[in-house]
Amino acid sequence: MAADDGVKKWGKCEGVKGKVLGHIGHIKGKLNELMAKVSNSRLSEEDKNRIIGIIESAEAEIKEAEEKIKSADNCLDLREAVLEFRLGWIDISRELRILAYEHAVERMEKQLQKLHNISTKLSEKGIDTSELNELIDEAENAVDDVGEKISAGTVTPEDIVNAELKIVKAFQEARSMIEDYRSQMSEQGGKGTFSVPPVQNPAAGF
């Protein structure tokens, strides 16, 4: 009877084992996708190498955990291997999440620079850019806040979205001002000579 109970118990453990290994396979696939995305991105070679190093380290840890789970032939060893994997994955996922947040900040900073350039050009044409500059300042403060929260480990996806929306709002104001400028130039028989660059989603990945 005890032997039968042991067989039944291991049967349940094998079911858990299969599910965890399936989850690990899914994670490995996502890491491969991320690796390809980074490799084909327009990031600098320095940034690419740094990110790829982090991904490769994560892949090595996942592979080691996978081998331990595969080799477990009793419930106790399996339980310990699964716990080790789950704890390790918490650290890996946190590091990858922070990496994505840092990348979002870098992209938003580039968008802010474009906004500053637009504001300068408008100002050079004698246009009052005070409202636009206020929106740019609000966006910059939001991006700075994200950076500080990343360092403190308290950043959330909502913080990223908030900063992104402020940038979009500033671009909308810039576009409206340029359209007004073009309209005025057209009425005077002249022609506007610059436009607003497309707004990329800073949190859309690499």
Distance CA 1, CA 21 (A): 30
Kindly state the tokens that stand for 75: 């419930």
Helix (H, G, I), strand (E, B) or coil at 145: helix
Read out DSSP for 2-53? Answer: HHHHHHHHHHHHHHHHHHHHHHHHHHHHHHHHHHHHHHTSS--HHHHHHHHH
pLDDT for 195 equals: 55
- Long-range Cβ contact pairs of 151-160 (< 8 A, separation 24 or more): 153/98, 155/98, 155/101, 157/203, 160/101, 160/104, 160/202, 160/203
Nearest residue to 154 (alpha-carbon basis) of 88, 98, 99, 100: 98
Q: Dihedral through CA 78, CA 79, CA 84, CA 85, nearest 10?
A: 70
The pLDDT score that the predictor gives to residue 102 is: 87
pLDDT at 202: 46
Return the pLDDT at 9.
Answer: 75
* CA–CA gap between residue 88 and residue 105 (Å, rounded): 26
Position 189 scores a pLDDT of: 65
From first to last of the 206 residues of the chain, give the pLDDT tens digit.
444 445 567 778 989 999 999 999 999 999 999 999 888 887 788 888 988 999 999 999 999 999 999 999 999 999 999 999 999 999 999 888 888 898 899 899 999 999 999 999 999 989 999 999 999 999 999 999 999 999 888 999 999 999 999 999 999 999 999 998 888 877 776 555 555 555 555 444 44
Look at residue 12 in the predicted model and tell me its pLDDT. 86
How far is the C-alpha of 105 from the C-alpha of 112, rounded, in Å? Answer: 10
Q: Residue 67 belongs to what H/E stretch? A: helix 45-71
C-beta separation of 50 from 92 below 8 A: no
In the chain, the N- to C-terminal Cα span, in Å, equals 57
